[in-house]
Amino acid sequence: MGSDVTFLVCQESFHAHKNILAARSPVSKAQFFGEMEEKSSRHVEIMDMEPEELGAMLHFIYTDTIPELEKQEEASTVMAQHLLAAADSFLLDRLKLICEAKLSGGITVDTAATTLALAQQHNCSRLKAKCVKFIVSTPEVLDAVLATEGYKHLEASCPLVLTELLKSAHGRNAEA
Residue 167 within any structural domain of the chain:
yes
Q: What's residue 171's pLDDT?
A: 72
Tell me whether residue 80 is in a domain: no
Asked if residues 13 and 7 have their Cβ atoms less than 8 Å apart, the reply is yes
Q: What is the share, in percent, of the chain residues with pLDDT greater than 90? A: 72
Average pLDDT for 41-48: 88
Task: Quote the pLDDT of residue 172.
Answer: 65
Q: Which CATH number fits the domain that encloses residue 149?
A: 1.25.40.420
- The total of structural domains in the chain comes to 1
In-domain check, residue 96? no
C-alpha to C-alpha distance for 170 and 141, rounded to whole angstroms: 14
Q: Which domain holds residue 123?
A: 107-176
128 occurs within a structural domain: yes
> What's the pLDDT score for residue 2?
84
Angle at 147 between CA 145 and CA 150, to 5 degrees: 65
Helix or strand holding residue 15 (H, E): strand 12-16
Choice between 60 and 34, residue whose per-residue pLDDT is larger:
60
In a domain? residue 114:
yes
On whether residue 51 sits in a domain, the answer given is no
Which range is least confidently modeled, 29-33, 94-98, 121-125?
29-33
What is the rounded average pLDDT of the residues 105-134? Answer: 95
Residue 63 lies in a domain: no
With respect to residue 36, please indicate whether it lies within any of the assigned structural domains.
Answer: no
